[in-house]
A = this chain, B = another copy of it.
Amino acid sequence: MQQELEVGLIALATTGEVQAASADIAIATTCTSDLIDITDRVGAIVADTGIVEGIALVSAPHTTCAVIVNEAEPGFIDDFKAALEAIAPQSREYAHNDAPHAEEFEAPNGYAHVRAAFLSSHSALLPVRNGKLALGRWQRIFFVELDRARPRTCQVTLVGRAR
Q: Which residues of A contact B (CB under 8 A)?
A: 1, 4-14, 17-28, 36, 38, 40-41, 44-45, 48-49, 53-55, 57, 59-63, 66, 68-71, 73-76, 78-80, 83, 87-88, 94-99, 110, 113-114, 116-129, 134-139, 153, 155, 157, 159-161
Please report the C-alpha to C-alpha distance between residue A18 and residue B74 in the assembled complex, in whole angstroms. Answer: 41
Check A68 against B7 for contact (C-beta < 8 Å): no
Check B22 against A110 for contact (C-beta < 8 Å): no
Residues of B with C-beta under 8 A to A138 = 62-63
Contact for A125 among B48, B74, B123, B139, CB less than 8 A: B123
Please report the C-alpha to C-alpha distance between residue A54 and residue B8 in the assembled complex, in whole angstroms. Answer: 21
Check B127 against A22 for contact (C-beta < 8 Å): yes
Number of identical protomers = 3
Contact for A14 among B19, B59, B70, B126, CB less than 8 A: B19
Check A71 against B63 for contact (C-beta < 8 Å): yes
Contact for A7 among B10, B28, B41, B127, CB less than 8 A: B41
Residue with the highest number of chain B CB atoms closer than 10 Å, among A76, A118, A161: A76
Check A113 against B9 for contact (C-beta < 8 Å): no
Please report the C-alpha to C-alpha distance between residue A127 and residue B4 in the assembled complex, in whole angstroms. Answer: 26
